[in-house]
Amino acid sequence: MMFRCVALAATLSCMPAAAQAELPVAVEELIDAAVATGDAKKVDTVIALARSTYPDDRPTIDALAARAKEQMAGKAAAVAAEKEAEIRTAGILENWSGRGELGAFQSSGNSDDLGVTAGLKVKREGIDWRHKLGALVDYRESDGVATREQFLFAYEPNYKITERLYAYGLGQYERDRFQGISTRLVASGGLGYDVIDTDRVFLSLKGGPAFRYTDFTDGTSTERLAGLAALDFDWTISERLALTEDAEALVEDGSTSLRAATGLEADLGGNLIARVSYVVEHETDPPAGAEKTDTLTRVTVVYDF
């Protein structure tokens, strides 16, 4: 397509002015060929070239441009309708996408060691609903004794109120014995808003009340109402490099849990991504003998599907 545009420009530049009085049929054919590709940038390039080459035929070219715009809009509407019909008729096990990751981590705080980490995030986009499932496992064993053991499982359904505003629900299970948590259950619901949603930058905020049950390793337990606030940020720096930030705060009377994960991702080609992440977990009121802050550096290979 680009070769044809260059060849056309070279040919037209060599034609005498008298021969350019009438717009050649080849220009219209080239515009139609660009429309057939479905690429709006190619259409704009061809039309701009025609306008600069044939300034005296501006009305004719404008009419061709208007027709091309209508054709492109029709193609986009047809694609959107086909996609919506596909989503509405999809089975419960269809239209899931996500990523799995596997690698190693280094921790400091309640334990200083190396271990293995595995994670899974899947998402299903519907017309009105979005479903998210997540799992994370960090484990380290030394001489038959676990020195790091963290499990996290979460399910979050979203109902889309508008294009950017949504209502969320959250059910979460967590276990981290070396931070003093034998079992922690969280149930939350509230509102979220996609502040920025472009091809390169995504920022979403959510918050609402939560109920949290915690069974500590020292035999005590708590049942409290809390407030949840969370941030999800993704920035595509270049075609092969991306920065991510996920942060969450659960605030309750006498205790606050903070978690922040910063990641740098490099595209390895295909569906593989190399990821380095730094995680900070903080408990303001941990059981006796447990450190308030844990930090982890994870190096993983991610598979997108």
Query: Mapped to the 3 state alphabet, what secondary structure does 258-274 carry?
Result: EEEEEEEEEEEECCEEE
Instruction: Provide the pLDDT confidence category of residue 113 given band limits of 50, 70 and 90.
Output: low
Question: In this structure, which amino acid lies at residue 188?
Answer: S
Q: 43 near 50, Cβ under 8 Å?
A: no
> What pLDDT, in 10s, does the model give residues 206-249?
999 999 999 988 888 889 999 999 999 999 999 999 999 999 99
Cβ neighbours around 153 below 10 Å, total: 15
Asked if residue 38 has pLDDT above 60, the reply is yes
Instruction: Provide the pLDDT confidence category of residue 12 given band limits of 50, 70 and 90.
Output: very low
Q: Average pLDDT, stretch 152-166?
A: 96
Report the alpha-carbon distance of residue 282 to residue 46 in Å, rounded.
Answer: 57
Per-residue confidence (pLDDT) for residue 68, from 0 to 100 = 86
At residue 267, φ and ψ (nearest 5 deg) are -70, 125
Q: Average pLDDT, stretch 117-121?
A: 94
Tokens 């053991």 sit on residue: 149
Per-residue confidence (pLDDT) for residue 241, from 0 to 100 = 97
Per-residue confidence (pLDDT) for residue 18, from 0 to 100 = 35
For the record, the structure tokens of 226 come out as 């809390």
Three-state DSSP at 253 gives coil
User: Regarding predicted confidence, which is higher, 19 or 82?
Assistant: 82
* pTM for the model: 0.71
Q: Average pLDDT, stretch 32-52?
A: 88
DSSP conformation class of 43? H
Per-residue confidence (pLDDT) for residue 154, from 0 to 100 = 97
Averaged confidence pLDDT in the chain: 86
Report the alpha-carbon distance of residue 10 to residue 192 in Å, rounded.
Answer: 54
Asked if residue 87 has pLDDT above 80, the reply is no
Return the top range by mean pLDDT from 26-40, 115-129, 233-247, 276-290: 233-247
Asked if residue 11 has pLDDT above 70, the reply is no
The set of residues, in sequence order, having a beta carbon less than 8 Å from that of 258 and lying 6+ positions away, is 247, 248, 249, 280, 281, 282
Fold annotation for 96-304? Porin (2.40.160)
> What pLDDT, in 10s, does the model give residues 189-198?
999 999 999 9
Per-residue confidence (pLDDT) for residue 111, from 0 to 100 = 59
Q: Average pLDDT, stretch 130-151?
A: 85
Percent of the chain predicted with pLDDT > 90: 46
DSSP conformation class of 199? S
Per-residue confidence (pLDDT) for residue 95, from 0 to 100 = 82
